Structures are given as C-alpha cells and as structure tokens.
C-alpha cells in the first residue's frame, strides 16, 4: 500500500496552476522564457474597527432584499448577529438568520441550511462568524446555484454554475475562508473532510472588523492564529506560488508571529487585534491564490475523524511537514524564517528550515497547543485511514514535495 500515488497527481497540479496563473509564458514571445503570468483573485475588502456598520450597504449593493445570514450560537450570544441584523434592517432589508451550526460544518447541516434558504425565499448570502460559518454559507450558495448534494462538489472546479452573491464577516483571525475559493465540509458517513475549490466561491465582499475578534474563546484565538500561520507558510512554498502571493504570505508570517501571543495576554488591545486581523487576511489572500500543502491535506482528515479544532491540528503537524519538505529543498524556508524573526545570516538553509519548525512549535507551546496528535485522540489504528484519505485531498497537489502513502503515515506517526 505504501506505493499508492495521490488521486491529485501532476495533471491536477497543472489544472490548479493554470486556473490560478493562466498561461505560463507570454503568448507569441520569441525572447527568453523569463516572465510568468500571475492572476490574483480577491474580494472587495472593508477593513477596520466599526466596519460591520457597512454590512447593510454592502448587501444592498449586491441586490439583497431578504439576505440569508449564516452563523452559530456562540456568535449570536456574543451580540454580533443582533448588531449585524440592525445594520441590515437600517437600510430596509429583511434578514433571515440560520444558526443551527456546529464547528467543522457537517454535510447534513449544509443541506438543512439550504432547505431553509429556499423555503424563506432568501437571496444574498451572508456569514457572520468563523470559518465554519463561512464554509456553510458557501455550501448553501453552491447548492442554490448548482443543486444536488454538497459532497458532490469535492475537488477543483466542480462548481460550474453561478452562485448567489456572498458577503463575509469573520469573527476569528485565522481561517481566511472569508477571502478564499475554498469550502471545507465534513463527510459524516466517511468521517473525513472534503475540500471544494472554485473561483466562484471567492466572496464579493469581505468585511473585517477587529472588534469581532475580542469575543473569541482563548482556545479558538490560538487555533485560528496558528491556522493563519500555516496558510502563509504553505502558500509561500506551494508549487503554485507567485510573486503576488509571496508578498502577502511573508507579511502574514511576520504579523502572526509577532502578535498572536499578545492577543491572548491582552485580549482587548486594539493594535494586536488589528494586526492579527490583517495577518489572517493576507494569509487568506495568499493561500486562495497559491493553494496549500500537506499540512492541510492531513489536518482535514484528523478534523473529519475527530471533529477536532482545525488550527490546533495544523499547529501540531506544521513543524513536521516543514522538516519533511525541507529535507528535499530547504531554500524557500529561509525568507519565511526571516519573516518570523529568525536570524538567517550565514546559516545553512537546512538549519534555517529546522529553526523555523522549532519556532512554530515554540509558538504553539506558548498558546497552549498540545505537542502531539495522540492527545487529541489519534491512535496507531487510525494512521492508515488518515493517510489514505489525505492522498485524496486537493491541497496535496501543490505541496512542494511529492508524497506517497507510506511517507504520510510516517509523518502522522512522527506527530503522534
């Protein structure tokens, strides 16, 4: 079994790279092949304290009359849904709120939300909440425009018909879902997560108000911050990276490594919260255009199996994946290490990559993330299943080093 190749092979990498970057060279050029075209897809972004007040006007500009607001009980309890609905009503809109959502959105929850969307005659779809709310809102949009079952759209560019406009208001600083072309849904029958990638899923508008981050529980703050760091690192070393994604990825690494711990020590400190909001945003813009890598391919499987926090799993896995990838080609980890504040002057690149892996682990330790997957409930008996399903994940296509099942199994064991 260790010789199995991923379902996402080189042809999938070419599909993703072409989707993101267009033709590799200038058409008709007779000179040296030194120029590479790059596309960069991002929503309209409204950023800053009190930006939630723009929600009504933003939805109205997209033609909303009865917006469908997807959220969860925690965000409702924090008061942000009430404020959001007030802004929507202030411009004459009649919002419908659906909040029957749990972390790591389940396939049946997306189907239930879509049924409510149809029954209420809603139009523009809004998410107020973390990545689970955003993914569920995208799932409703997919079904509205394309029909069927949400799991049918796993993979790259399977969403072929137009979807309703999307407005996203993130309440966490890490998932990047509010600016991405990703939708991740739990397949409850298989106890795994499916990844849906389509440029149609990039929202029209993302409203990022750092005030919303102040009501996150500490564990969620830590988890989503490590998720943002993982987005930035994996986007920078991705096989589909380009100079535009590189810029945002490196800046995000600096913002997250300098500010995540501060937001736990001083939760109401505006400067650190705004920096984390920006770091999450820039990491999101990087990875939606460059895709991700093995950390996410593996993390999705653990999350689907155990319904565990995605960012916590990333924090455990990322140092191991950095070392695995760097063993083949450590060079691209040097700029990432510099962005994280590591002295790289006259240090061999393989040692720099190792120091970066250590730095990630130190940050995870400082915010209370467990050191191994075993503490989350992963056992040796899970390793084979987790490795097999990781091979199917679209994120593996852009990992800088190719992997087989045996190598993934070994990585899971090293992270136990």
The 8-class DSSP code of residue 214 comes to G
The CATH H-level superfamily of 10-23+217-414 is Dehydroquinate synthase-like - alpha domain (1.20.1090.10)
What is the pLDDT at residue 39? 82
**Residue 30 CB neighbour total at 10 angstroms:** 5
DSSP secondary structure code for residue 87 in this structure: H
Determine the Cα–Cα distance for residues 154 and 174; give it in Å rounded to an integer.
23
The pair of structure tokens assigned to 23 is 């033709």
Under-50 pLDDT residues of the chain: 1-11, 21-34
Name beta bridge partners: 344. Answer: none
- Express each pLDDT in 16-27 by its tens digit: 555 554 433 333
pLDDT in tens, 209-244: 999 999 999 999 999 999 999 999 999 999 999 999
For residues 101 and 72, is the Cβ–Cβ distance under 8 A?
yes
The pLDDT score that the predictor gives to residue 7 is 39
**Per-residue pLDDT at 15:** 53
Q: Tell me if residue 189 falls in helix, strand or coil.
A: coil
pTM value?
0.90
φ/ψ of 348, rounded to 5, equals -55, 145
3 state SS of 310: helix
Q: 238, 290 in Cβ contact below 8 A? A: yes
Cα separations (Å) of 29 from 24, 36, 38, 355? 11, 12, 16, 42
139, 121 in Cβ contact below 8 A? Answer: no
Topology agreement, domain 10-23+217-414 and domain 49-212: no
Domain ranges of the chain: 10-23+217-414, 49-212
Residue 397: its H or E element: none
The tokens for 180 are: 């991405």
What radius of gyration, in Å, describes the C-alpha atoms of the chain?
20
Contact 257, 363 (CB under 8 A): yes
Q: How many CB atoms sit inside 10 A of residue 391's CB? A: 18
Could you list the beta-strand ranges (E) of 48-149.
Answer: 68-70, 96-98, 125-129
pLDDT of residue 37: 78
In the chain, % helix, strand, coil (3-state, to 5) comes to 55, 10, 35
Q: Can you tell me which residue has the tokens 């879902």? A: 177
Pick the CATH number of 49-212 from 1.20.1510.10, 3.50.50.60, 3.40.50.1970, 3.40.50.720: 3.40.50.1970
């Amino acid at each position: 079994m260790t010789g199995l190749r991923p379902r996402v092979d080189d042809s999938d990498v070419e599909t993703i790279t072409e989707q993101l970057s267009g033709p590799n060279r200038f058409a008709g050029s007779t000179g040296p092949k030194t120029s590479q075209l790059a596309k960069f897809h991002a929503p309209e972004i409204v950023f800053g304290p009190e930006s939630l007040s723009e929600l009504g006007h933003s939805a109205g500009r997209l033609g909303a009359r009865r917006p469908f607001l997807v959220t969860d009980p925690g965000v409702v309890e924090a008061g942000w849904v009430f404020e959001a609905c007030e802004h929507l009503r202030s411009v004459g809109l009649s919002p419908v709120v659906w909040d029957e959502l749990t972390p790591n959105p389940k396939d049946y929850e997306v189907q239930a939300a879509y049924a409510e969307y149809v029954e209420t005659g809603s139009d523009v779809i809004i998410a107020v909440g973390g990545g689970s709310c955003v993914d569920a809102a995208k799932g409703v949009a997919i079904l509205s425009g394309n029909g069927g079952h949400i799991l049918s759209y796993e993979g790259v560019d399977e969403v072929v018909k137009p979807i309703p406009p999307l407005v996203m208001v993130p309440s966490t600083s890490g998932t990047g879902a509010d600016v991405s072309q990703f939708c991740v849904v739990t397949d409850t029958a298989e106890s795994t997560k499916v990844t849906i990638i389509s440029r149609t899923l990039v929202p029209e508008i993302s409203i990022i108000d750092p005030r919303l981050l102040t009501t996150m529980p500490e564990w969620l703050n830590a988890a989503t911050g490590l998720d943002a760091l993982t987005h930035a690192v994996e986007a920078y070393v991705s096989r589909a990276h380009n100079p535009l994604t590189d810029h945002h990825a490196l800046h995000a690494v600096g913002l997250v490594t300098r500010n995540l711990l501060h937001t736990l020590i001083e939760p109401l400190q505006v400067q650190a919260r705004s920096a984390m909001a920006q770091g999450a945003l820039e990491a999101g813009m990087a990875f939606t255009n460059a895709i991700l890598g093995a950390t996410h391919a593996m993390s999705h499987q653990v999350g689907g199996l155990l319904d565990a926090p995605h960012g916590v799993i990333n924090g455990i896995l990322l140092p191991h994946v950095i070392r695995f990838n760097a063993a083949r080609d450590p060079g691209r980890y040097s700029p990432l290490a510099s962005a994280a504040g590591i002295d790289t002057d006259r240090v061999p690149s393989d040692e720099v990559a190792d120091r970066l892996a250590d730095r990630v682990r130190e940050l995870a330790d400082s915010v209370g993330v467990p050191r191994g997957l075993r503490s989350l409930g992963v056992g040796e008996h899970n390793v084979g299943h987790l490795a097999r399903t990781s091979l199917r994940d679209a994120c593996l296509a852009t990992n800088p080093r190719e992997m087989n099942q045996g190598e993934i199994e070994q990585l899971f064991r090293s992270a136990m």
